[in-house]
Amino acid sequence: MTKTIMIVDDDPSILLIVEKFLKTKGFQVMCMSDPEEAYHSAQKHRPDLIISDVAMPGLDGFTLLRGLKENKATQNIPLVLLTATDKIADVEKGFEVGARAYILKPIDWERAWAKLEPLLK
């Protein structure tokens, strides 16, 4: 059965780039530009992995991940943060709210895949 990955980012170009990469790896991809919609969609569809941007208007990636981890329907879904910042405080906060990995923008695809692949087994 094909695994499904949800991508949450307010930047359409990032959604498109990540979607193309994941589809070449054989995954079904759900692209979400609104974190609140992503939260509700994750409860309904329960993707195998969620990749979320950190800095988004309204609900940020940290808050989204915290909510997903607190919800019984989504608490076991591996969560990965996608961000342009590598500030230690932000990385620590991401792991505190339940992120299993960080992917930095601009994306190094080889490094990103090395982080994603183990979470999808």
Domain range list for the chain: 4-120
Considering only the C-alpha atoms of the chain, give the largest distance between any 2 of them, rounded to a whole number of Å.
38
* 82-93 pLDDT per residue, tens: 988 878 888 888
Work out the mean pLDDT of the chain and round it to a whole number: 95
Distance CA 29, CA 22 (A): 7
Give the predicted TM-score (pTM) of the model. 0.94
Question: What confidence tier does 35 reach under pLDDT thresholds 50, 70, 90?
Answer: very high
**Is the pLDDT confidence value at 71 over 90?**
yes
Q: For residues 40 and 50, is the Cβ–Cβ distance under 8 A?
A: no
Q: What is the pLDDT of residue 1?
A: 79
Residue 50 banded pLDDT, cuts 50, 70, 90: very high
Average pLDDT over residues 23-31: 97
The share of the chain scoring above pLDDT 70, in percent, equals 100
Mean pLDDT in residue range 7-27: 97
CA-to-CA dists, residue 23 to 16, 17, 36, angstroms: 10, 10, 24
Of the candidates 71, 64, 72, the one whose C-alpha atom is nearest the C-alpha of residue 6 is 64
CATH top-level class of 4-120: alpha beta
Residue 44 has pLDDT above 80, yes or no: yes
pLDDT of the residue at 91 = 85
The pLDDT assigned to 58 comes to: 87
pLDDT at 87: 82
